[in-house]
Amino acid sequence: MKLVVLISGRGSNLQAILDAGIPVAAVVSNNAAAAGLRVAQERGIPTHVIAHADFASRLEFDRAVQQAIDAYVPDLVALAGYMRILTDAFVHHYTGRLINIHPSLLPSFTGLQTHARALSDGVKIHGCTVHFVTPALDHGPIIIQAAVAVEAADTVETLQQRVLAAEHRIYPQAIRWFFEGRLRIDDSGRVNLSCATASEQSVWVTGG
Ligand code: GRF
């Protein structure tokens, strides 16, 4: 099974995927300054930078990214902090083999600044979600979620840290399930995990 990871920045989820022993065929970034590129390079993983500013349109940019990805003939493409809005053509090209990690319990808090919005709304449970990507931003079929208890003293930073630690647990898990061929999207658009044990199916709730 071949995995290509798309990043724009720090690359801590990429690092977690690699630390989990999951092989990554290549890393693609729209940002030459992405720290995550070094994470890949240190491990001898090929990296490709495709700067969005070099392209006249989103469509042309996405086509170039697609070409770089497809050179590896990946089974799965994982967005890990990839900060570009995707064209429908790109998303359709990778239907059923494009996944994303989002720092909220979807469908709550799609988009940006999820931790600040969670705090300002006073939610008591926050978390993160790995989902298949569909054209509607942050709305695709949910694969796995981790819940994090919000504490009275939380700031954006402290909450973000605990959610990120949860991200690092569930992203490798979702990829393993995909590679094991255990993820099926049913007719109603929901993900079923085949042969799931009770503990695999339960939501992960982490404390402080
Ligand atoms: C993560 O919080 C992820 O959920 C979001 O962007 C952030 C990327 O962090 N989509 P990193 O680059 O993996 O450290």
Each residue's pLDDT tens digit, 64-113: 999 999 999 999 999 999 999 999 999 999 999 999 999 999 999 999 99
Determine whether the shortest distance from the Cβ of 11 to ligand 1 is under 6 A: yes
Catalytic residue among 48, 102, 131, 168: 102
Q: Ligand 1 center to residue 101 CA distance, Å?
A: 7
pLDDT-derived band of residue 208, with 50, 70 and 90 as boundaries? very low
Indicate the average pLDDT of the chain: 95
Estimate the crossing angle of helix 156-179 against helix 114-121, to 10 degrees: 120
Per-residue pLDDT at 143 exceeds 60: yes
Cα(187) to centroid(ligand 1), Å: 30
Structure tokens of 98?
Answer: 């494009």
Across the strands, what pairs with 184? Answer: 192
Backbone conformation region of residue 111, classed left if phi is above 0, alpha if psi is from -120 to 50, else beta: left
Residue 207, pLDDT score: 45
The interaxial angle of helices 12-19 and 156-179, nearest 10 deg, is 40
Tokens of 42: 């240190």
Query: Which residue is closest in CA terms to ligand 1's atom 6?
Result: 81
For every residue of 117-129, DSSP letters joined together read HHHHHT-SEEEEE
If you average pLDDT over residues 172-189, what whole number do you get? 96
